[in-house]
Chains A and B, each alone.
Chain A
Amino acid sequence: MLKMFTSPRPELGQAKKNTVLVSHGRPPWYGEDGHRISDSYVIGIAGGSGSGKTHVARQIVKALGSIPSVVILSQDSFYKKHTPEQLVLAHASAFDFDHPDSIDMPLFAECLSQLKSCQQANIPVYSFKTHQREDEGRYLYGATIIITEGIMALQDPGLRELYDLKLFVQCDSDLMLARRLKRDVAERGRTVNGILEQYLRYVKPAYDNFVLPSQRHADIIVPGSNNAVAIDIISTHIRRQLQERSNSFRPKMAMPHLFPSISGKTVQDLNLTVLPQTPQLQGIFTILRSRTTSRQDFIFFVDRLSTVVMEHALRYLPFAPYTVTTPLELPFTGKVMDAKYVCGVSILRSGGALERGFRRVLHDVPMGSLLVQSNDHDGEPLLLHVMLPVCLRDRRTSGDAYVFLLDAQIGTGAAAFMAVRILLDHGVKPEHIIFVTFLVAKGGGISVLRRAFPQIKIVTAGVDDIMEEGWLDGLEEGEGRQVWAMMPGFGQMGDRYYL
């Protein structure tokens, strides 16, 4: 079943354009050193108007079936911003939308290149109603496969360089015209005469002069109808390519949970910021660690601890001098928080346990979330949901943002690793990431996390020594899900806080 990073849910096989679709979650796309191990796979589909490009794209998505995440990018989004004169022409159906010059190719290539290198992109939104680019862009992130479709998709050399596979959908002109007539009358409320006039004046010449010649760049020519065999061959090819990539990268993948070291690194080695172990903090930990603590007490003390650890973490924001006047009309030169954007991102589910504390100290900043779950058979982390604050979606603002990343503990470090990578993909500076947590296992994945991301700040309330291998409750060894537990730890934080 396909699921999108953004709602609403599309029909299977009717993959919505310009939306990232996810089936079973996205596995790690980075190595143990924190760097990206492979680019996204990019497919370009060109062909005449009405040749069936979108159909081919959707059929490929459908045929691939269980794929991590995919986006179909439409060339239509990249029509240039029009001048007032052009707008008049456009409304009078006298503007040539079929000429390559009508497309903002540099922007198209920039967005595609961002997506290919696993960064977010904010693609423009073009309205056919107003014939103009809208002010708000559309945020896209996290596609493993990108399918670009449009009549000029193979036109621009800059774009062509980005494709891993280039397709051209070949179709007879009469069939294309027939489809176009049917569609424009039904969906765009146009008259037959208007459509034919536009066809002869713009569509046909553009096809002959630009679109058709671009087919020589294609790797595969796909028939525009009765193409089930072609699609089967193409999707088999794509699957094999993805499999080969995945096989060759697998040994390099970041799976810190496979390498828990008992060799206790010191807090200094790991560059952890540990809260002063005051009597109250020790008392709170004792309550949280005890298996006999009531649910009521557990929740209360988690909330109290999260407030304390958040207060501590906030010290690492930048501050600048600032003078105010007190009610006695006297000046006081103090400080003001000197960060342009501050936000939180919690790693669900257990990061939610820190949200109460977060809200007690930062009541007016946005709070995003990431859902990372580990896969049942090998514990590999899978990204299921991304909902980031607006300031992180755009690279023009994310560089100025400070992000508090929340998770209850860093054990294997797998989810933390993925979350940090997502923030870096979005252009957040590593030194602006403040990871806030209750407990870190020194012998766990923290060393891998620290090696990959030396600049992030990690603020923790406490430190445990080791991780021990275990099996999930009530299951025979060998049958159930293998888990790593922190020792002595406080058990499954998410379960104890929420269930």
Chain B
Amino acid sequence: MTTPVAPPQPATNQSQMNPLPPSVFTLPQTAQLEALYTIIRSKDTSRGDFLFYSDRIIRLLVEEGLNHLPVVKKVVETPTGATYQGVGFEGKICGVSILRAGEAMEAGLREVCRSVRIGKILIQRDEETALPKLFYSKFPQDIASRYVLLLDPMLATGGSAMKAVEVLIEHGVPEDRIIFINLISSPEGLRTFCTKYPQLKVITGWIDLGLNDKAYIIPGLGDFGERRYCE
């Protein structure tokens, strides 16, 4: 009588990395998601649209990230008087954004996790050593007992993300309690990052072709923070 549900159109751009490291999770690669990325990648996209559509992707990423948190069985009574065998959220969380592009993901995070605590890290390239250096960090006091959603929109070489994880571990957060969320990754960056922190889950929306000689992700979307805040 009925036909099976047609699957949504798939994305034509397949992942640039096959197989993915086991700790990496992407969003379902649908044409719909690809259309969102097409909008934010275009240099002609207005700031308003860039904000709106990058927020949509960020919400999807955060929703996916939260699915890696534990839940416990929970029974509730419904308004109709029935009992329902459900689940309850377990464990406290907090967000940590890598300044300054990571801050752009905070609004999306708070739309999904109301009044979540958010720590900040500022990491910049040390001009003398050319290595990432911690300039500033501010975390909730009990961060060691929380699951951490680490926010940075672009994973290029992975230098600053790895530095941020190092700082979090120094503050007592176990590696396997950190979930790193980004919009676009480079295959090189992902490989380096996952080799160094194999226990840490990475949620990425899209894996791009690679890096150019200036270590920018290609085809990429330019400088996320710049487009979000300054252009």
A314 to B60, CA, bound (A): 13
Q: How far is the CA of A450 from the CA of B5 in the complex (A)?
A: 13
Q: Which of B9, B56, B78 contacts A319 (CB 8 A)?
A: B9
User: How many residue-residue contacts, CB under 8 A, span A and B?
Assistant: 172
CB distance from A490 to the nearest CB of B (A): 6
A328: which B residues are within 8 A, CB to CB? 212, 216, 218-220, 222
- Is B112's CB under 8 angstroms from A327's CB? no
- Nearest CB in chain A to that of B227: its residue: A327
Distance between A212 CB and nearest chain B CB, rounded to angstroms:
58
Residue A209 is within 8 A (CB to CB) of chain B in the complex: no
CB within 8 Å for A286 and B41 given contacts A271-B2, A327-B221, A330-B218: no
In the complex, the answer to whether A270 meets B79 with C-beta atoms within 8 Å is: no
B113 CB, nearest partner CB in chain A, Å: 9
Contact for A325 among B43, B52, B63, B83, CB less than 8 A: B43
A399 to B194, CA, bound (A): 50
Asked whether, in the complex, the Cβ of A319 is within 8 Å of the Cβ of B32, the reply is yes
Nearest-CB distance from A304 to chain B (Å)? 6
Q: How far is the CB of B54 from chain A (nearest CB, A)?
A: 13
B-facing residues in A308-324 (Cβ within 8 Å): 308, 311, 314-319, 321-322, 324
> Does residue B130 face the partner (Cβ distance < 8 Å to A)?
no
Q: Which residues of A contact B78 (CB under 8 A)?
A: 289-291, 487-491
Q: Write the chain A residue with the least CB distance to B62.
A: A280
A84 at the interface (CB under 8 A from B): no
- A308 and B63 in contact, given A271-B2, A317-B32 (Cβ under 8 angstroms): yes
- Please tell me if the beta carbons of A334 and B71 are within 8 angstroms of each other in the complex: no
Residue B23 CB within 8 A of the other chain: no
Number of A residues contacting the other chain (C-beta, 8 Å)?
Answer: 62
Given A307-B59, A451-B1, also A336-B38 (CB < 8 A): yes
Is B34 interfacial (CB 8 A cutoff)? yes
User: Residue B77 at the A interface, CB < 8 A?
Assistant: yes
Residue among B4, B44, B70 making CB contact with A268, cutoff 8 Å: B4
B135 CB–A CB distance under 8 Å: no
The B-contacting residues of A in range 222-273, CB under 8 angstroms, are: 268-273
Query: Which of B11, B59, B71, B111 interacts with A282 by CB under 8 Å?
Result: B71
Mask of A142-161 contacts with B, CB within 8 angstroms, 1/0? 00000000000000000000
B82 touching A283, Cβ below 8 Å? no
Given A273-B5, A335-B11, A324-B79 contact (CB < 8 Å) = no
Check A330 against B56 for contact (C-beta < 8 Å): no
Residues of B within 8 A of A454 (CB): 1-3
Cβ-based interface call for A478 (8 A):
no
Residue A375 lies at the interface, judged by CB distance under 8 Å to chain B: no
**Contact, CB under 8 Å: A286 / B76:** yes
Interface presence of A486 (CB below 8 A):
yes
B136 at the interface (CB under 8 A from A): no
Stretch of B86-94, B160-168, B195-203 contacting A (4+ beta carbons < 8 Å): B86-94
Q: Are B219 and A279 in contact (CB under 8 A)?
A: no
**B48: min CB distance to chain A, Å:** 9
Please, which residues of chain B bring their CB within 8 A of the CB of A315?
8-9, 30-32
Within 8 A of A (CB), among B69-114: 69-71, 74, 76-80, 82-84, 86-89, 111-112, 114
Chain B, range 11-56, C-beta contacts under 8 Å to A: 11-13, 30-32, 34-35, 37-38, 41-44, 52, 56
Give the contacting residue for B87; candidates A271, A286, A316; CB below 8 A.
A286
Given contacts A286-B74, A317-B32, contact A279 B87 (CB under 8 A): yes
Q: Does the CB pair A324–B12 fall under 8 Å?
A: no
Q: How far is the CB of A261 from chain B (nearest CB, A)?
A: 15
Contact A280 B66 (CB under 8 A): yes
Closest beta carbon of chain B to A484's beta carbon, Å: 11
Q: Which of B12, B34, B216 has the most CB of A within 10 A?
A: B34
With A360-B59, A489-B82 known to touch, is A291 a contact of B76 (CB < 8 Å)?
Answer: yes
Known A-B contacts A271-B5, A333-B12, A487-B82; A292 and B38 likewise in contact (beta carbons under 8 Å) = no
Contacts of B88 in A (CB 8 A): 283, 286
Q: Which of A314, A468, A490 contacts B79 (CB 8 A)?
A: A490
Expressed in whole angstroms, the Cα–Cα distance for A14 and B115 within the complex equals 56
Tell me if B223 counts as interface (CB < 8 A to partner A): yes
User: Which A residues lie within 8 Å of B69 (CB)?
Assistant: 279-280
A492 CB–B CB distance under 8 Å: yes
Does any Cβ of A come within 8 Å of B67's Cβ? Answer: yes
Q: Give B71's nearest chain A residue, CB to CB.
A: A279
Min CB distance, A33 to chain B, in Å? Answer: 13
Inter-chain contacts of A307 with B (CB < 8 A): 59, 111
Decide: B5 and A280 in contact? CB cutoff 8 A: no
Residues of A within 8 A of B223 (CB): 327
Asked if A280 and B67 sit within 8 Å, CB to CB, the answer is: yes
Cα-based distance from A327 to B227 in the complex (angstroms): 10
With beta carbons under 8 angstroms apart, the residue of A271, A334, A485, A490 that contacts B38 is: A334
Residues of B with C-beta under 8 A to A417: none
- For the complex of A and B, list the 8 residue pairs with the smallest distance between their C-beta atoms, beginning with the closest: A286-B86, A327-B222, A491-B79, A334-B38, A315-B8, A324-B42, A488-B82, A290-B76
Identify the B interface with A (CB < 8 A): 1-6, 8-9, 11-13, 30-32, 34-35, 37-38, 41-44, 52, 56, 59-60, 63, 66-67, 69-71, 74, 76-80, 82-84, 86-89, 111-112, 114, 212, 216, 218-223, 227
16 contacts between A and B (CB under 8 A): A286-B87, A290-B84, A291-B77, A311-B56, A311-B59, A319-B35, A326-B219, A328-B218, A333-B13, A335-B31, A335-B34, A454-B3, A488-B83, A489-B82, A490-B79, A491-B78
Q: Give chain A's interface residues, CB within 8 Å of chain B.
A: 268-273, 278-280, 282-283, 285-286, 289-292, 300, 304, 307-308, 311, 314-319, 321-322, 324-337, 360-361, 363, 450-451, 454, 457, 468, 470, 485-492, 496
Give 18 A-B pairs besides A304-B111, A327-B223 with Cβ atoms closer than 8 angstroms. A268-B2, A272-B5, A278-B67, A286-B74, A311-B60, A315-B8, A322-B38, A325-B44, A326-B218, A334-B37, A335-B9, A335-B34, A337-B35, A363-B52, A454-B2, A468-B80, A488-B84, A491-B80
